[in-house]
């Protein structure tokens, strides 16, 4: 179990508004899951493993589509639009 | 002729279609009729497309023009609701995607469109593919066609259920930790997860990008191979795609993992069924080798660190501005909080929060860093195993399909349903679930075979032996 204060902090970092019952159930459930995944510490020590082999695969930054080809389809999916712009709340105060 | 949907495969349907026994339109009509009559019993389709017969007519025209060696032409297929088809709705069984229309088609979908596959509709899943029962869908659970009081599995539960109930000849699903294989086992059909990178993820709504793969759910191993061969290939839109090996000579040895069935919570009937599969393998001429794979019993812990970490990152795009729906607020922060808080389901929220936790600066090394190291150890276990054996065999699931509601209040218990399947995603190796009999209650068992990385063709060959 983790505390409700920790759940509130996590929810805020995750940009999730939670209801009171959710805070209660999550502090039990997430606590149990974190307890379970903590077993990883007995499997791996800090220094006994090779570095993992992921690498970046990059491509040239090229324009692949004609201007405006997808604009309407993409903007149409936004909850609010104004012309060809996605309409959002003010970002700077 | 009356079409015997119950015993139909892609192979058989193709022969009938080119032989003129029935047309693609008649085949599509037979499925639409079944959907009309039976979908309400299992709640699998979220949408049946309005242009199914139009698609079938186009296929029939291609047959008329002499197209003969395209096994997928006119084949009716259902699609998991996280695959983009240009101009069609996609919801990922989530309220937050309400009203979303795909601006382009997934690469796998595009390849199937070119082959003339007939898409019947979108089928149910756990919200954003997070779950093992479809109980996390915003549109209700999909019931198991063998017993409607039980789950169909998940997250591709709709895909497996429609194939099992003859509401589609085949389906596409996606598999991040077992989401194709586990529901296929629960519903008694074949489900295939390709080698990581074999199939492009472009146009698959991302859950956990280093684990996700698109794959087929079918009535036979050959049917899965036919679909896989079509959708596989390098794609410039997905930098993680790879080219896979041609079929190699099959090693006539199958590995079983020492101690794997001793872990807690494995159903006794599953153990007995697995013993029978071992005997079957011997009867087919395979030598059984007991393998030491010391790290794979920890694959589930590794999975439930890496997966939520990637989920928390991938789900950040749902901000109430770009896609689907939003809940208004008095300022920007409130809109983020309320949109995500109100429109995402519990399991999605749990995983976002666990991911945020394991990636936070104080815990990163203890969780995410270690999980990535453990992932390499698990990969090494598999590399060592495939020096000796052609496949590693396990049950697909620790129990047959469980009752609806049985695990829905205990997320950790639900996670344990993936205990045998997550390993293949962690290691990136291909894996297939094939039916291996039924329980006393008549519920199907699945046998999982895992193959060497990039050796998908060899795994199909081995799985076909078991089908005899």
What CATH code is carried by the domain that includes residue B38? 3.90.1300.10
Do the interacting molecules here have an ipTM over 0.95? Answer: no
Q: Is B170 on the interface with A (CB under 8 A)?
A: no
The chain B residue lying nearest A51, using CA atoms, is B373
Q: B250 in a domain, yes or no?
A: no
Q: What is the CB neighbour count within 10 angstroms for residue B83?
A: 24
CB contact under 8 A, A17 and B340: yes
Q: Structural domain boundaries of chain A?
A: 4-43
Q: Is the pLDDT of residue B115 over 90?
A: yes
Rg over alpha carbons for chain A, rounded to the nearest Å, is: 22
For range B290-295, the mean pLDDT? 94
Q: Is the pLDDT of residue B209 over 90?
A: yes
pLDDT at B435: 98
Residue B187: enclosing H or E segment and its boundaries? helix B181-187
What digits encode the pLDDT tens for the residues B228-286? 999 999 999 999 999 997 777 778 999 999 998 888 889 999 999 999 999 999 999 99
Helices (H), B71-188: 107-115, 157-164, 181-187
Q: Is A92 on the interface with B (CB under 8 A)?
A: no
Q: Which chain A residues in 52-91 lie under 8 Å from chain B, judged by CB atoms?
A: 52-54, 57-59, 70, 73-74, 76-80, 86, 88-91
pLDDT at B72: 98
Known catalytic membership, residue B155: yes
Q: Is the pLDDT of residue B409 over 90?
A: no
pLDDT at B299: 94
- Report the distance separating Cα B340 and Cα B97, nearest Å: 11
Domain count, chain B: 1
Q: What is the CB neighbour count within 10 angstroms for residue B299?
A: 25
Strand-pairing partners, residue B133, are none
CB contact under 8 A, B349 and A14: yes
For range B434-439, the mean pLDDT? 98
CB contact under 8 A, A76 and B302: no
Q: B326 in a domain, yes or no?
A: no
Pairing of strands A85-86, B287-291: unpaired
Q: Is B14 on the interface with A (CB under 8 A)?
A: no
What digits encode the pLDDT tens for the residues B67-92? 999 999 999 999 999 999 999 999 99
CB pairs under 8 A between A and B: 144
CATH number of A4-43: 1.10.20
Known catalytic membership, residue B80: yes
Q: Is B103 on the interface with A (CB under 8 A)?
A: yes
For B20-24, B177-181, B191-195, B327-331, which range has the lowest pLDDT when averaged over its residues? B327-331
Q: B398 in a domain, yes or no?
A: no
Provide, rounded to the nearest whole percent, the portion of chain B with pLDDT above 90: 92
Q: What is the CB neighbour count within 10 angstroms for residue A39?
A: 12
Q: Which chain B residues in 408-437 lie under 8 Å from chain A, judged by CB atoms?
A: 410-412, 415
Q: Is the pLDDT of residue A45 over 80?
A: no
Mean pLDDT rounded to a whole number for chain B: 96
First to last CA, chain B: 28
Winning range, highest mean pLDDT, from A44-58, B216-230, B353-367: B216-230
Q: B280 in a domain, yes or no?
A: no
CB B130 within 8 A of CB B137: no
- The residue segments making up the domain with residue B100 are 5-231
Helices (H), chain A: 4-13, 20-37, 40-43, 71-76
pLDDT at A1: 74
Pairing of strands B118-123, B45-48: antiparallel
Higher pLDDT among residues B13 and B250, named by residue: B13
Known catalytic membership, residue B439: no
């Amino acid at each position: 179990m983790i505390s409700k204060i920790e759940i509130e902090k996590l929810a805020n970092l995750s940009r999730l508004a939670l209801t009171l019952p959710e805070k209660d159930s999550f502090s039990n459930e997430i606590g149990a899951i974190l307890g379970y995944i903590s077993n990883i510490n007995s499997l791996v020590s800090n220094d006994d493993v090779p570095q993992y082999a992921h690498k970046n695969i990059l491509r040239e930054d090229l324009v692949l589509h004609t201007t405006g080809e997808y604009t309407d389809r993409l903007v149409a999916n936004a909850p609010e639009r104004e012309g060809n712009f996605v309409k959002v709340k003010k970002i700077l105060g | 002729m009356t079409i015997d949907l119950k015993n139909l495969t892609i192979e058989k349907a193709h022969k009938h279609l080119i032989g003129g026994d029935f047309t693609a339109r008649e085949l599509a009509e037979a499925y639409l009729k079944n959907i009309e009559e039976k979908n309400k019993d299992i709640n699998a389709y979220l949408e049946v497309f309005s242009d199914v017969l139009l698609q079938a007519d186009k296929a029939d025209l291609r047959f008329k023009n002499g197209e003969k060696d395209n096994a997928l032409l006119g084949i009716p297929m259902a699609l998991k609701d996280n695959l983009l088809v240009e101009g069609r709705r996609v919801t990922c069984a989530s309220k937050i995607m309400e009203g979303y229309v795909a601006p382009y088609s997934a690469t796998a979908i595009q390849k199937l469109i070119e082959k003339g596959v007939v898409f019947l509709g979108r089928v149910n899943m756990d919200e954003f593919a997070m779950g093992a029962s479809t109980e996390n869908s915003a549109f209700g659970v999909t019931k198991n066609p063998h017993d409607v009081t039980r789950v169909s599995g998940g997250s591709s539960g709709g895909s497996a259920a429609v194939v099992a109930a003859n509401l589609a000849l085949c389906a596409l699903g996606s598999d991040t930790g077992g989401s194709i294989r586990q529901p296929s086992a629960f519903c008694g059909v074949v489900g295939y997860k390709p080698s990581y990178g074999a199939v492009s993820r472009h146009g698959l709504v991302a859950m956990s990008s280093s684990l996700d793969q698109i794959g087929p759910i079918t009535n036979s191993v050959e049917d899965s191979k036919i679909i896989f061969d079509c959708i596989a290939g390098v794609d410039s839109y997905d930098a993680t795609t790879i080219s896979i090996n041609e079929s190699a000579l099959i090693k006539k040895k199958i590995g079983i993992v020492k101690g794997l069935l001793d872990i807690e919570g494995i159903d006794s009937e599953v153990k007995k069924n697995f013993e029978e599969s071992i005997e079957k393998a011997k009867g087919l001429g395979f030598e059984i080798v007991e393998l030491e794979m010391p790290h794979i019993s920890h694959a589930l812990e590794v999975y439930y660190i890496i997966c939520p970490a990637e989920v928390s990152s991938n789900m950040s795009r749902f901000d109430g501005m770009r896609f689907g729906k939003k809940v208004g607020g008095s300022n920007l922060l409130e809109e983020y909080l309320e949109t995500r808080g109100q429109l995402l389901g519990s399991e999605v929220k749990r995983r976002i929060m666990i991911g945020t936790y394991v990636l936070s600066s104080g815990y990163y090394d203890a969780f995410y860093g270690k999980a990535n190291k453990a992932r390499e150890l698990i990969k090494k276990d598999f590399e060592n195993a495939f020096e000796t054996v052609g496949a590693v065999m396990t049950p697909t699931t620790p129990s047959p399909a469980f009752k609806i509601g049985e695990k829905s209040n205990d997320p950790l218990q639900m996670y344990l349903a993936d205990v045998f399947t997550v390993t293949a995603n962690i290691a990136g190796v291909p894996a297939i679930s094939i039916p291996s009999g039924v329980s006393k209650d008549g519920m199907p068992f699945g046998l999982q075979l895992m193959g060497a990385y990039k050796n998908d063709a060899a795994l199909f060959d081995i799985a076909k032996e078991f089908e005899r």
